[in-house]
Every structure is written in C-alpha cells, then in structure tokens.
A and B are shown apart, each in its own frame.
Chain A
Amino acid sequence: MYADKPLNKFLSSLAVNGVLALICLLWTIPTIGLLVSSFRDRLDINSTGWWTIFPHQDWVKVAELRPEEGVDRNTPMTLGGVTHTFEEFRDGVQVGNQRYKWIGNRRIGYVQVQEYRWTANTDFTLENYRQVLAGGNYTATLKDGTTVTELGDDMSGSFLNSLAVAIPSTVIPIALAAFAAYGFAWMRFPGRKMLFILVVALLVVPLQVALVPILRDFVTLGINGTFLAVWLAHTGFGLPLATYLLYNYISELPRDIFESAFIDGASHFTIFAQLVLPLAVPALASFAIFQFLWVWNDYLVGLIFIGATPGSQLVTMRLAEIVGSRGQDWHLLTAGAFITMLLPLTVFFSLQRFFVRGLLAGSVKG
C-alpha cells in the first residue's frame, strides 16, 4: 500500500507542491507588479521597473562632472582626469571600478560618475491611494476670478450602489437558474431538449447586441435608471451560463438519492429544496463567485442602464472618472484596481469553505 512508502510519499508531495508553487509564482508576478506599482510615484512608474524595489546590482551615480564654460564639446574633453570625445563618454568610459557616462544631449548634458553596486528603489508613497479614495478634488476658477476647490464624491456612496446592484444581480439569476437546471435535469416536459439547446446557444450572444432592445423595453416600462433595470439586465446576461453550469452539476447527482425520497412521496419542490440545493452548494458557490465578479467589475451595463441617473454611480464608473478621460494614469489605475479587487477577493475566500470534500459523503454512494 502506498502509505507504506514514506519516501515515495514525500517525493510525490514535493513534486506536487513544487509544480504548484511554480504555477502560483507565475500567476502572481503580474499582480505583485500591480501592487508594488500602486505604491510608487507616477514618475518612478514610468522610468524604472517595479522589480527595482528589490536589491539588485546596478550602476549608481556617485558624482557629476560638467565641462567648464566655453569648452568645445565637439572635440575631446578632459573630465575627472580622463580625456575622451562626447561619443566615447556617451558609450561609457571605464575608469578603475567606476564608469564615466555622458547623460543627455551633447549641448546640455554632463558626465555622471557611476559605480556598480547593490541598490534598491525604495521610494514608496500612499499618494495614489489617497487620490483615488478622495475622488476627484478639483479647483475651478469662476468668471469673477475667484477660485473654488470642490471635493469630489468619496467612494463610499458608489460602493454602496455597487453592492445594491451586485447582490441581487447575483442571487436572482442563481435562483432562477437552479430551478431551471433542476427542471431540465429531473423533470419531463415538452420542448425540454429544444429549450436546453436554446440555453447553450444563448451563451454566445454578446451582450452588446442586447443593449439597445433591452434599453428600449426599459424606457417603455419607465424603469430605466433604477436598480431593478440593472438587476434584470444582469440576470438576463448571466442566466445562460448559470443554467448551463448548474444543469451540469445537478444532472450528475446520483439518481438513487432521489428515488427513495420519491417513493416516500416527496414532491419535486421538496426534493429540490431539501435535497438538491444543499448538495449543489459547491456549484452554487462557484457560480455565485463568477457572477458577483462580473457584475462587480462591469462598467458598460451599469453605465447604460443607470449611468444617466445622478447619484447612482457604481465603483467602476467612479474609477473610470478618476483615471481621466484620455490618459493612462497608471499610478491611479494601479491603486484603483487594487481597491476594487478587495471585495471580490473577500467574497472568494469566504465562499471557499464550501469547496470541501465530503459534502456529498454519506448521501452519495457513487
């Protein structure tokens, strides 16, 4: 028996954890880059790599040498005791353990004396986070010449709005889909096959084609701009995947666990509520995470269905405004991306306890 071979077991565990660690490292590096960058100044972000915060060997400036006034920079120049042309300095001149390197243009540049040694860029700032959290403070000059500084909305209001959108937009499609998935899996009715194929087919419909018709219906019903409108839209867009995934799971539940219940006279509804739902918790939790993430990170659907209503900004809309209309304010984007990540990660870790073995143990014989 394998348990008798501790060495084998150790090696296999080493292999498992080794491969896993490698993948995790690869997967995490980009995010670490984001995290580190979010604490760096805009200019630093644009001039050095984020990994330079770690100790590394590099040419470090120790002194500056400037040619004296009137020296012809088109001929060899004597600086710090060595004579070279501009071109030679530009390529770097080795002097002992130092390097003399011309920085910048021939006309206004200078020679930097550099030493190769250990260094690290450890200038960190909280400014990016402060700016994102404070929202868009701005100063405007009025016609009479006075200046006013107005505080932008803080993020808490939009955070609440995002929650009010995301929670029902997660729960409603899951509930509808769970019922439908059970119906497809364990009930017989005319058109069952065709309707299921419709569900699969609708997976591919890009939500962009549905924006205009749905908006038109909302306008007709007079509910455009309300949370309900966004709930309904997200429900519609999320349902195909929810139904499809939950069907897959629910249809594979072993038949015998229901059989005895039916023999005991239980109805479909009782079986669904008391047997299927508890057994489907891992699947429900998985989909809940995905749907929550999509809704939480959505910008377009929210923008189109409640975007025009003042005071109902979502976090993503707020973020989009903070980072500016045209630019790539990387320093703000990195901080903003991290702030918006926090809640989804919390949701993931809190739901992870549902993904444990043995949930089916006892009820499933295989």
Chain B
Amino acid sequence: MSKKLFNLVSVLVLTALILAACGPAATPAPTEPAQPTGTILERAMAGEFKGAVVTATGPFVDQDAQKFEAMIKEFEDQTGIDVQYQGSKEFEASIKAAVTAGNAPDIVDFPQPGLLSTFVAQGKVTDLGQFFDRATLEQTYNPSWLDMAMLQGPNGKIMAGVWERVNGKSLVWYPKKAWDEAGYKIPATWDEMKALMDQMVADGSTPWCVGIESGAATGWVATDWMEEIMLRTTSLENYDKWVAGTLPFSSPEVKNAAEVMSDIWQDKYVYGGQAGIVKTSFSDAPLPLFDADGPKCWMHKQGNFVTSFFPEGSQAGVDYDFFYFPPLDAAYGKPVLVAGDIWAAFTDEPAAIAVLEWFTHGSHLKSWMQAGGAIAPHKDADLSWYGNDIERGVAKIIQEATSVRFDGSDLMPGQVGAGSFWKEMSSYVAGAEDLDTALKNIDASWPK
C-alpha cells in the first residue's frame, strides 16, 4: 500500500515539475534463459521464472475469482511465479481499453471466442502455436476444441488461446423431491416432453420457467434455446452454416426452430407468461422451482452454472437434479450444446505462457472441480475429480453426446451473436415484432 502511494507521490512531483514525460517507466529486462530444456511449463516448474509476475483478467469475479485464486495458488507455489488476477464486471470495456492502449494484462480469460477474434484479427494476440505442439495438445484435448481455438489473424490462422473451462448447456433442471412425489417421468423424447407439459397443465401447474433478462445481455437465453432446437431439428452442417452466416436466419430451418421455441414459450406453458419471460432475470428464473408452496414450475433449461443461483442449502440429487434436453428428431442424434472460457496471451513472456501451458492439463482444474462450478474440456480430466454428482453427470453427458457444438451466438460476429440476435429475439418475445421481421433484421445486421 505505502509503496503504491510512494509511487503516486513521486509521480505527482514529477508531473508538477513537468518532468514526468522524461522519465519512462522502468521495465525489468526479461531474463534470458541460459539453457532451455523441456517445455516452458517444465522450465517454470524447475523454478526458472521464479519471481516473475503474470497479470491476468477476465469477466469472473466473486466466488469464481476466489476459486481461481485457490487453484492458481498451487501453480504459484510450485513455480514461484506470481499470478495476479483482477476480474471486471465491465469486462468488454476494460479489456478493449487496455488492449487498444497497449496495456493489456499478460493473460486474459474470454468467455466468448467471438470477442477474442477481433483482437486476433488486429494482430494483438500471441500465437500459441509457436510454443505448443499440436500433437502434445491432442493428448489432452479433442481436436475439435483445438480447431475452435484457431482464429484468423492478420497473417493467417493462429492458435489464439487454450480452453480452460466448459459449460454444458443442454440441461433441464427439475425439483427432484416434488417431481418424484408427483410421479412425473423424465421425458426421453420430445413427444414425451410435450405430453408431460400438457399433463402438468392439466394438473394445474405451469411446466417451464424461463427468464431472458440479463442487463446489457438481455436475450441470450432465447438464443440458447434457438441453438438447442436448431441442433435437434436440422443437420450439423446446417448448424455450422448458420453460425458461419451462410444459412440465413430467414431460412425455413431457422424459422422452424424459432417456431418450435414459440410453441413452448406460450402463456400456458411458462410461469408468468410473456411478461414473466421478458422481465425475469435469468438468475431469478429457476427460483419458482423451489417455491415454499411447492414448485410453481417444473422445468428450467440452463447451463450447469445455474446451480449457483439455486437457493442456499438446496441439495443436488435431493432437492434438484437435471435431465438431458430431449432430442426432437432421432435422425439428429443426441447433440449437446456447450460454451467455454478460452485464455489468450497478450505477451510472449515465458512465465505467462507457462500458465497457459499449465491450463492445457486437465489436472490443473482439479481443485475447482472439487469445489464445484467448473467442468473441464480436457480428455485427461478424471470424472472422479468432480466434487458432486451433478457436474460429473454433466461431464458425462458431454462425453456421451453424439455431437457437441459450441454456443452459436458466441461464435457469430459480435454485431449478431451479442447484438441483433439477442435484441431481435427479445423484441419478438415481447411482442413488439413478428417473427419474420425479427429474423430479417438479424440477417440485415450481419457484417458484409
């Protein structure tokens, strides 16, 4: 603390004397490795970069940041490298300002590859391909993860980052105790699910809880539903084309997906109806599952992170559980939608690269997996490491999926995936626009 103040005071004086400009900040000269042997991580473990400081940032704060600190402490103890993480609730603004001003932290956690891709296109991101060997990485990752980390730089594709955590999305949460008491059966197919929904309505309940409100990101819940239904109603090729922008939103496939969704998002099927959908925060949406007077709704589709928004003290496997969002058409198998966090480097300092290399091993995530809230994309992460059955189950669903696809809106260009797609779906759900207009507007916003 006093050191910072001292710095501050010294700078004040310098400025007052109009000398500040003459005194460039001293940057420690990088120490040249004498005899590099082994990978960068191995060298780090041998203490070669002891004392180095790696700055890190990302969108996660609070509990997740604390779990991260607890996890990274092990790395720090082993290598003597100090990793300083500072999360930001205004991640988009702070990372853009920092990168553009040439002040980016060494390593950055991106919740969406789409956000990272612009920095890659500007040539700001370190190509990890120069440090890591693809064959080695394939021992710990499925090739599809590695492919998704390849982004277009100014001089061709580069390995822009490493996947660290993954979030399984195709999950439907239900209040297990009440569910069993009521004698409802977990639906294995879309038709069973529809029948169950009608049964619940006949029993005087509303089947679903849906809430799409999320501040500046309002609408993303709707895009997740669209992606799930796309995967269940059309081929993977079409899904990929849709994400890449070659299959327009106004095509019959996409329109059909929206209609299937609207079929469920009716006033009789969703708690609170249309008003409830548009104004319920996604974080409050699951609460009616746990209402003191018995469930107000019975099903809530959301990624595995949602358990941290369940009421305190509710027990996995007792108070709640989940099932796989059923397939609609047997022809398209059992697809799973995922999202994930990718870490990129804005420096080629070996200490920073060593952290990222550490992330490429599933074992690094073990403490976080035990604490709960993290699912590893790594092949070498053991199912037994998960601290609870829920997350073990999610990991299993991802492993057993006939196909895995990444959250489409995260991969689309920002204007669409974090813009018009959210916005137009919100407008459509709020009844301000008809479906055709909404889909046409999304198509129009696609960057030329």
Contacts and interface: CB of A to CB of B under 8 A. Distances in A.
Decide whether A and B assemble into one complex. Answer: yes
A219 B178 contact: no
A148 B366 CA distance: 15
A285 B130 CA distance: 59
Interface residues of B, number: 73
Interface stretch (B30-38, B52-60, B406-414): B52-60
Interface string A142-161: 11010010101000000000
Given A108-B182, A215-B97, A307-B94, A224 B103 contact: yes
A141 B387 contact: yes
A86 interface: yes
A86 B202 CA distance: 11
B165 interface: no
Given A106-B204, A215-B103, A308-B55, A226 B62 contact: no
A104 B295 contact: yes
Contacts of A152: 66
Contact of B103 (A106, A219, A312, A326): A219
Interface in A312-327: 312, 320-327
Contact of A216 (B60, B64, B101): B101
Contacts of B291: 47
Interface in A290-327: 299-300, 303-304, 307-312, 320-327
A46 B289 CA distance: 13
Contacts of B282: 326
Interface in A249-304: 299-300, 303-304
Contacts of A142: 70, 74, 367, 370
B204 A105 contact: yes
A107 B295 CA distance: 11
B84 interface: yes
B284 A223 contact: no
Nearest to A328: B281
Contacts of A310: 84, 86
Interface in B269-297: 281-284, 287, 291-295
A138 interface: yes
Given A105-B294, A219-B101, A304-B97, A141 B66 contact: no
A42 to B, nearest CB: 8
Given A108-B182, A140-B70, A211-B97, A228 B103 contact: no
A356 interface: no
B70 A103 contact: no
Nearest to B364: A143
CB-based closest 9 A-B pairs: A222-B25, A104-B294, A215-B101, A140-B70, A327-B283, A107-B182, A216-B101, A106-B203, A226-B8
Interface of B: 1, 4-5, 7-8, 11-12, 15, 20-21, 23-26, 55, 57, 59-67, 70, 74, 84, 86-90, 93-94, 96-98, 100-103, 105, 178, 181-183, 200, 202-205, 214, 281-284, 287, 291-295, 305, 308-309, 311-312, 366-367, 370-371, 387
Interface of A: 42-43, 46-47, 86-87, 90, 102-109, 136, 138-143, 145, 148, 150, 152, 208, 211-213, 215-216, 218-219, 221-228, 299-300, 303-304, 307-312, 320-328
28 contacts: A46-B284, A46-B287, A102-B204, A106-B204, A108-B294, A138-B63, A139-B371, A140-B70, A140-B367, A141-B370, A141-B371, A141-B387, A142-B70, A143-B366, A143-B367, A148-B70, A211-B93, A212-B100, A216-B102, A222-B20, A226-B8, A227-B5, A303-B94, A307-B94, A311-B1, A322-B62, A325-B87, A326-B309
